[in-house]
Structure 1
Amino acid sequence: MDQINKIALIGGFRSLGGSLIWPFIGFALYKVYGFSLDFVSIFYLIQASVNIIGSISGGIITDFLGRKNTMTISIILSSLALFLAYLINLPIPIAGLILLQTYFNNVYNISSTAIVGDIYKGANNLVKAFSRQRVGINAGWAVGPLIGGYIFTTFGFRLLLLVSSVIILVSIPLIKLLPDFKGEGSILSFNINRDFLMFLIPTFLTFIIVGQLGFGILTYYNTVLHFTEFQVGILFAINGIMIVAFQDLMGRFINKRIKLISIGMIIYGLGYFSIALVTNFYLASLDIVVITIAEMIVTPLSQAIANSLASQRSRGRQMGLYSMVTGIGRIIGSSLISELMSYYIYTPTILWGIISSFGFISSVLYYIFLKKIKNVI
């Protein structure tokens, strides 16, 4: 089995366990445990701080311990955090343990991204490799939210914590089959170039809009259009199934077409603005198709560009910074939509118009950036 197929399979098991609960965390805090939308917004802001700590320290850990050890340790500790949340089952401890699990998720994501960059060289190979990795990851996402939505609706959020903690452990034996890589030099030396830092600006804006595929969509559709958690789980499953079925094909199409990331962000903006026009489940399903097409274009190109601009000796640390920016973007996106919903949840053109603007702005910034560094990648 090729190394990237092993990585994709590991990512599939890992994402299956994670996607059981991730789309429902903010919603559970709001609906199940009785926290206000303001608290949910604060929770996501705290999660952003945890993301910063996890990304920086995770990058250092990845270079120091090696990719394989870091992936294994982070999975075990993430599982333990979820299991403790299941046992304790009290609102504040659950929120705290989910934040702890967020930390270990960040560490895992950095190590799994870095190992792809270590094995495959050049932007074109990286686009194809990250596309294949996403096939595995989204195989988990294709069924995880659907199963999670069913368990949530039928048995409650607590059981989700237990099931997720068990499933994510399945991938550990597969990690032992991978080659290992470590960083070099001082663990505090990042060796970051200016182009990499400039790339992080549109990346941050990108992941504000990417982060809406979770709390934002679930809460809006449940509150305004009265979709059940299971119905929204079906929407998430459409997203995952499309990526499993078509990401490899899309990877071949976008390979050597790095500038298509700008087009992808325009599609993202249109897809999220169109949520304001959705009136039933069928239109919501069609709109998630548009959003998924944007995701299949943008995400592997973003990962490929970031890895192309990073050096192997500090790849873990630089991917830590990339992970920090993408993670903060997602969390700020969730926090922002939570705050905006307090005022505009029944004024969808304003609500989703603000969110979609991040897609259009980042599209312009990507275009300017890629014109400048076209000879670098």
Structure 2
Amino acid sequence: MLRKGLERYFNNFKGFTREVWILTIITFINRAGTMVLPFLSKYLKENLHFTYAQVGWIMVAFGLGSMLGSFLGGKLSDKIGFYRIMIFSLFTSGMLFFVLQYITSFWGLCIGMFTIMTIADMFRPAMFVSLGTYAKPENRARAFTLVRLAINLGFAAGPALGGLIIMNIGYQGLFWVDGATCVIAISAFALLVKEKKKSAFTDKEHPGEVFADSIFRDRIFWAFLFVSFSTAMIFFQIFSTLPLYHHEQYGLTELQTGLLMTLNGFLIFLLEMPIVSYFERKNVHKIKLILWGSVMMATGFFALLWNVWVGVLVINILFITFGEMFIFPFSNSFALSRAPKGHEGRYMALFTMSFSLAHIGSSKLGMVVIDFYGYQANWIFMGTLGIMAVFCCAYLQKLLKLEAA
């Protein structure tokens, strides 16, 4: 019984091209090496002695650079190809990480973080476009899921390795390791993967039939972007307001909060690929799955209104985790399938920009709501945002039916 279960689980990882596996491995190496980011605010505050306001502005520069990088990466992927953008982005940002450790002034770091994130986040839309080229249409959602697993595993490993490096070498070691992993990962990619201008696979379900005069006139895609932005806003609370709430409301330690976050990562690692594989086989429409994921996200935050039992925090994490598994892999796949051939980059640019904007807005807005009205008001606000995403998904389903008629 156990053997059959394991065979069924590992079968979900079959059918990918060699290029998809290489992309997955270099993504893991790159994300595991991204050790500076989890410790950035701590480094700025404790080592460079900036005020909270200055740290906040540097993080804003970080977010704005991320948005510009996403836009440029998508646009240039359409113009000169994803392959060149990926190599330029990771190699150059790796070299810039070596330099960043020597910048210690406030304005220097604002400019430095803006520049490095502009170049580093050109990689994301280009990588999404590359998956559209190297992955088969029938397992494209699973290919996105595979890369997401690599990102999650990398982020799980990175902070632990980063902590060890800080203890033994100091913060300077983080910049050297981060830069080196960027250069090593993209060098391996350039050596092992050949450039392809077009996909070798024919996408029978979406052969590039969506020809809006401009991406800005694609009403369906903009409604979808609102759903992506809203659900990302909700999800990013897991990194900002929720850890504070765990401690202030229930007195949880950093270890206990860490264990809750580990539960999120463990369930994703264990269940996301089988879930995506199952719904791919059943050919369930992606927007329907995103709708149910939005319901789960909203439920997770409304559950926090019952604030008399610590176990509700586990319920909250479970709903967020399953919502994440239903939303993010299928969102990536829908965004790419919506793009006309030759315009994938600009579609994926706007898609990744919606996440960058949500990352900037989520913690800021959540903290403001909590500051003025308290935690309960923030959970109501986030839950309501999830319900708005649900209604928007229902509207999207109607628009897609009309388009198909």
Q: Same fold by TM (over 0.5)?
A: yes
Aligned to 1:186: none
Match of 1:329 among 358, 365, 369: 358
| SS at structure 2 position matched to 1:180 | coil
Match for residue 196 of structure 1? 221
Relative CO higher for 1 or 2, CA cutoff 8 Å, sep ≥ 6? 1
Higher mean C-alpha displacement, 290-299 vs 352-361: 352-361
1:350 to 1:85, Cα distance in 2 relative to 1, 3 A? same
**RMSD across aligned positions (CA):** 3.5
Question: Are 1:62 and 2:89 an aligned pair?
Answer: no
Q: Indicate which of 134, 146, 161 corresponds to 1:132.
A: 146
- Given the superposition, is the C-alpha separation of residues 190 and 50 from structure 1 closer, same or farther in structure 2, using an over 3 Å criterion? farther
- Report if the CA contact (8 A) 2:370-2:377 is conserved: no
Report the Cα distance in structure 2 between the residues aligned to 1:21 and 1:225, rounded to whole angstroms: 30
The answer (yes or no) to whether the contact 2:87–2:186 under 8 Å persists in 1 is yes
Deviations 1:147-190 (A, max 9, x none): 4466668987555444333333331233222342458xxxxx99
CA displacement 1:319-376 (0-9 Å, x = unmatched): 11211122112221122224334435xx321233323322221122112212321486
Judge conservation of contact 1:275–1:284 (CA < 8 Å) in 2: yes
Aligned counterparts, 1:59-98, within 5 A: 59-90=74-105, 92-98=107-113
Q: Which has the larger radius of gyration?
A: 2
Q: 1:9 — aligned with what?
A: 25
Q: Do the aligned partners of residues 71 and 234 (structure 1) sit closer, same or farther apart at CA in structure 2, a change above 3 Å counting?
A: farther
Q: Which moved more, 1:125-134 or 1:230-239?
A: 230-239
Residue in 1 that maps onto 2:202: none
Map of 1:215 onto structure 2: 240
User: d(CA) in 1 for partners of 2:46 and 2:298?
Assistant: 29
Q: Which amino acid aligns with 1:363?
A: V
Kept in 1: contact 2:58–2:113 (CA 8 A): no
Which shifted more, 33-42 or 314-323?
Answer: 33-42
Code of the aligned partner of 1:104: I
Which portions of structure 1, spanning 4 or more consecutive aligned residues, are displaced by more than 6 angstroms? 152-156, 278-283
Is 1:349 equivalent to 2:376 in the alignment?
yes
Instruction: Give deviations 1:300-322, integer Å, cap 9, x for gaps.
Output: 11011101100231211221121
Offset at 1:144?
Answer: 2.2
After superposition, what is the alpha-carbon deviation per residue over 1:29-79, rounded to whole angstroms, capped at 9, x for unaligned?
566655565555555544443333222222122223322221122112222
Q: Which residue of 2 aligns with 1:118?
A: 133
Does 2:191 align with 1:164? no
State the match for 2:273 in structure 1: 248
Alignment check: 8 A CA contact 1:81 1:101 kept? yes
SS in 2 for 1:87: coil
Show CA shifts across 1:221-240 (max 9, x none): 46666666666555444433
Shift of the 87–34 alpha-carbon distance from structure 1 to 2, 3 Å rule, reads closer
Structure 2 vs 1, CA of residues 217 and 83 (structure 1 numbering), >3 Å: closer, same or farther?
A: farther
Structure 2 distance, partners of 1:153, 1:226, is: 27
Which of the residues 363, 368, 373 maps onto 2:395? 368
Q: How many residues of Structure 1 are paired with residues of Structure 2 in the alignment? A: 368
**From 119, 127, 139, the counterpart of 1:104:** 119
Q: Is the 8 A contact 1:25 1:215 kept in 2?
A: no
Q: Distance in 2 between matches of 1:208 and 1:191?
A: 27
Once structures 1 and 2 are overlaid, which stretch shifts more, 297-306 or 157-166? 157-166
Aligned equivalents of 1:179 and 1:375: distance in 2?
Answer: 40
Structure 1 residues 351 and 362: CA distance shift in structure 2, 3 A: same
Q: How far apart, CA to CA, are the structure 1 residues paired with 2:367 and 2:168?
A: 25
Aligned residue for 2:101, secondary structure, equals helix
Q: Distance in 2 between matches of 1:270 and 1:161?
A: 40
User: C-alpha distance in 2, partners of 1:88/1:159?
Assistant: 15
Residue 262 of structure 1: how far off its partner (Å): 1.0
Asked whether 1:175 is paired with 2:200, we answer: no
The whole-number CA distance in structure 2 between the counterparts of 1:371 and 1:98 is 42
Q: Percent identity?
A: 23
Greater shift in the superposed pair: 68-77 or 157-166 = 157-166
In structure 2, relative to structure 1, the CA distance for the partners of 1:72 and 1:240 (3 Å cut) is farther
